Amino acid sequence: MRKLASLLSVLMLLCTLALAQTHTVTGVIKDEKGDPIPFATIQETGTKNATQADANGLFSIKIAANSKLTITATGHEPQTITPSMNAVAVTLPTTNSEMTEVVVTTALGVKKQQRQVGYSTTQINSKELTAGKATNIGSALSGKVAGLLIQQPNSSVTNDVRITLRGNRSLLGNNQPILVVDGSIISLNYLNQLSPNDVDNVNVLKGATATALYGNEASNGAIIITTKKGSRSRPIINLSSSLNMETISLMPELQNEFGSYGGEGLDAQGRSSYMPYENQSYGPRYDGSLVPLGDPVRIFRPDGSFYDTAWMVPYKVLPDERRKFFDKALTFQNNVSFSTGDASSQIYVSFENMRKNGSIPKDFASRNSARVNASKDFNKVTVAANLNYIQSIYDVVGPDVQQGRPLYWTILNTPAHVPLTKLSDTYNNPFATPTGYFNAYYGNPWWAINNSRQHDVRDNIISNLKVEVRPLTWLSASYTVNYNAYFDRYQYHCKAIWKSGVSFTQIMDLTSIRLPAGTNPQTTRLVMPKQDTEKTSTTHVCRATFC
């Protein structure tokens, strides 16, 4: 009996402790004026235990001892409290931040609230544009705008793209939209020269809307880019660095059962024979035997004597030998920007360096960009100036020396048993030279990489000056001058081969200076062996706005 009494005492004590660990809190939620806030959410901080106030702001919730409560309501600042009593009254202040309306940039740089614009427009902000660390704006816009089709014709480091909005309108004419940067209409070729890190937002206008704002040249749509401006607060420095890697994801599926043969003839049994110099692959079945690759090569000794030798290789498939020809493409991008200003002035300065090593060995592209955007308010007059200098350098492989075929063509025209990766030393390996290479029809792709090069240096200047006058609160007038320049220096270097095996080097140097069409005519100067082309483009735009 005594043990039973002790057990009951212990159980009562445990129940008392359990009750002491939780308690019920009741209260009311009010705003700063003392009016109840209906349907506020009351949650035990750090748990899923929550309840909702009624229409009069009253609530009741059971929580653990020493717990905190977080109260939230639409249009009010959240509050976290530690109830010291079982009954509380909580006041939630009204939030100071209102929903920010989306501001879009329309024709000639006019900014309006989206609800004031009577047509459809799609805007991509800077955060969305740089999320994937794309090296050019064309790639950054891909997949972000309905109806905007961005096609990259190849995987070259040049990053050339073709852009259409809502499909093609013409079978033979131009189907691409116009490009507008800070109110200036410039060539669409500039799109991939601009740094995505310098862009504040991109607005895309389609069809009739763009035509109404920019005329017939915008009948295919318009891509409107607004670059970043300086901060009106304390100085801000941004540093960013990124590394991207690309690999060959897909190669054409080719047969790996038969080797070199091109229809030269059949043996006595009516079977195709192995042809060591053939690039076509419907000969004898692979069997792993040793076979000569190409014709014998004559090697000369220092004393003038010579001997002929053949390269014997296993007649079997080398897995992924064509894929191994390509490199992993690495892209390095570094950007630094400085932004500052005050209530009457703004300045934004940025520098960027980008280098992309291509999937094709030795191919590369680099871009160096410098930008200065500045503006100053003088009471009723605002002066703004933008200047952007971009230098892009491309060094890519040229066509095959012997047949003028692209590199990819010659790689695919290589049988599966040919060790392509062992033919890169075109200067010391006698079987890698044009006269010693096995293929009688197409050259060694490594020879093209080492001796057929296209080098292109492009300098771009994009600038504008805008003066805006506001004589009355409901009237403003602006005058804008745009100057855009494009300089191109192109060099093609090719080492050709005579039938005797003697090589010579041919260099074609072409320098052209091309600027977008404007008021000034094109001038051409021909100085052999260089060709210089110059054209200036200056645009004057006046605009009056009534508010």
Q: What is the DSSP string of 298-322?
A: EEE-TTS-EEEE--EEESS--TTHH
314 vs 398: which has the higher pLDDT: 314
Query: Which of 95-109, 331-345, 421-435 is least confident?
Result: 95-109
Tell whether 17 is covered by a domain: no
Tens-place pLDDT, residues 459-489:
989 999 999 999 888 888 888 888 888 888 8
Taking phi over 0 as left and psi of -120 to 50 as alpha, with beta for the rest, 116 belongs to: alpha
Q: CA torsion sign, 109 to 114 to 116 to 121?
A: positive
Check whether 537 has a pLDDT greater than 70. Answer: no
- Give the E-state strand segments of 310-451 in sequence order: 312-314, 329-341, 345-357, 364-378, 381-397
Domain end: 67, 91, 115, which one? 91
What tens digit of pLDDT does each residue of 236-263 get?
A: 999 999 999 988 888 888 888 988 876 6
Residue 217 falls inside a structural domain: yes
**Number of structural domains found in the chain:** 4
Residue 419, domain member (yes or no): yes
What pLDDT does residue 496 have?
57
Most confident among 148-152, 254-258, 440-444, 489-493 (mean pLDDT):
254-258
Residue 192 has which token pair?
């991939």
Q: Which residue shows structure tokens 């600042």?
A: 77
Give CA–CA dist 42/44, Å, rounded. Answer: 7
Same domain (yes/no): 196, 77: no
Is there a single domain that holds both residue 55 and residue 197?
Answer: no
Written as one letter, the residue type at 231 is S
With 80 as the cut, is the pLDDT of residue 118 above it?
A: no
In this prediction, residue 124 has a pLDDT band, given cuts at 50, 70 and 90, of confident
Does residue 368 sit in the same domain as residue 504? yes
Of 197-201, 284-288, 500-504, which gets the smallest average pLDDT? 500-504
Give yes or no for residue 212 having a pLDDT over 60: yes
| Domain termination site, one of 179, 206, 227 | 227
Do residues 467 and 370 share a domain? Answer: yes
Question: Does residue 312 share a domain with residue 328?
Answer: no
Structure letter (DSSP) for residue 93: P
How much is the pLDDT for 520? 39
173 vs 279, higher pLDDT = 279
What whole-number distance in Å separates Cα of residue 177 and Cα of residue 121? 14
Tens-place pLDDT, residues 66-114? 888 999 988 788 889 988 778 888 899 887 544 444 555 555 555 555 5
Determine if the peptide bond prior to 302 is cis (ω within 30°).
no
Please state, for a pLDDT cut of 70, what percent of the chain lies above it.
77
Tokens for 531? 């060709």
Q: Are 309 and 297 in contact (CB under 8 A)?
A: yes
Question: Parallel, antiparallel, or unpaired for β 475-497 and 452-472?
Answer: antiparallel
Sign of CA dihedral 158, 159, 165, 169: positive
The CA radius of gyration of the chain, in Å to the nearest whole number, is 36
pLDDT-derived band at 524 (thresholds 50, 70, 90) equals: very low
For tokens 């020269």, the residue is 193
CA 373 to chain centre: 23
The secondary structure element, H or E, covering residue 324 is helix 321-324
Whether the per-residue pLDDT at 315 is higher than 90: the answer is yes
Note whether residue 481 is domain-resident: yes
Spatial distance between the Cα atoms of 44 and 54, rounded to a whole number of angstroms: 17
Output 274 or 511, whichever has higher pLDDT: 274
Full DSSP string of 182-250? TTEEE-GGGGGGS-GGGEEEEEEE-HHHHHHHH-GGGTT-EEEEEE----SSS-EEEEEEEEEEE----
Q: Average model confidence (pLDDT) for the chain?
A: 79
Asked whether residue 211 is assigned to any structural domain, the reply reads yes
The torsion defined by the Cα of 106, 110, 111 and 117, in degrees rounded to 10, comes to -50
Residue 338, pLDDT > 90, answer yes
The structure tokens listed for 497 are: 């081969």
Same domain? 54 vs 116: no
Phi, then psi, of 422 in degrees rounded to 5: -95, 5
Strand 69-72, strand 79-81: pairing: antiparallel
Residue 512 has, within 13 A of its CA and on its CB side, a CA count of 9
Q: Which domain holds residue 310?
A: 290-316
Asked whether residue 454 carries a pLDDT value surpassing 50, the answer given is: yes
CB 162 within 8 A of CB 175: no
Residue 80 structure tokens: 């976290």
The CATH number of the domain holding residue 71 is 2.60.40.1120
Looking at per-residue confidence, does 267 or 56 come out higher? 56
The amino acid at residue 139 is S
Taking CA atoms, 434 is separated from 311, 321, 322, 324, 501, in Å, by 15, 20, 19, 21, 8
Cβ count within 10 A of residue 446: 24
The predicted structure's pLDDT at residue 149: 84
Cβ neighbors of 215 (< 8 A, separation 6 or more) are: none
- 338 and 418 assigned to the same domain: yes
Q: Give the residue from 227, 257, 278 where a domain finishes.
A: 227
By three-state DSSP, how is residue 296 classified?
Answer: coil
| HSE-up of residue 154 (Cα within 13 Å, Cβ side) | 10
Residue 139 has pLDDT above 90, yes or no: no
Flag whether 173 is in a domain: yes
446 and 391 in a single domain? The answer is yes
What does the pLDDT read at residue 517?
A: 41
Looking at residue 176, what DSSP letter applies?
A: P
What Cα–Cα distance (Å) separates residue 142 from each residue in 137, 151, 411? Answer: 9, 9, 30
Give the per-residue pLDDT at 101: 47
Matching residue, tokens 């805006």: 468
Give the helix/strand (H/E) hosting 411. helix 407-412
First to last CA, the chain: 95
- Decide if pLDDT at 515 tops 60: no
Q: Mapping DSSP to helix (H, G, I), strand (E, B) and coil, where does residue 420 land?
A: helix
Residue for token pair 């052999």: 528
Q: Which of the residue ranges 180-194, 439-453, 497-511 would you say has the lowest mean pLDDT?
A: 497-511
Q: How far apart are CA 184 and CA 195, in angstroms?
A: 17
Q: What are the residues whose beta carbons fall under 8 Å from the beta carbon of 259, sequence distance 6 or more? A: 274, 281, 283, 284, 285, 286, 291, 315, 415, 416, 417
Residues 46 and 110 in one domain: no
Q: Judge whether 476 lies within some domain.
A: yes
Question: Cβ atoms within 10 A of the Cβ of 511, count?
Answer: 15
Q: Are residues 453 and 518 in the same domain?
A: yes
Q: Can you give the CATH number for the domain in which 201 is found?
A: 2.170.130.10
Are both 424 and 334 inside the same structural domain?
A: yes
pLDDT at 531: 38
DSSP β-ladder status, 87-91 and 22-30? parallel
- Asked whether residue 542 is assigned to any structural domain, the reply reads yes
- Distance of alpha carbon 482 from alpha carbon 468, whole angstroms: 15
Same domain, yes or no: 57 and 115: no
* Residue type at 307 in one-letter notation: Y
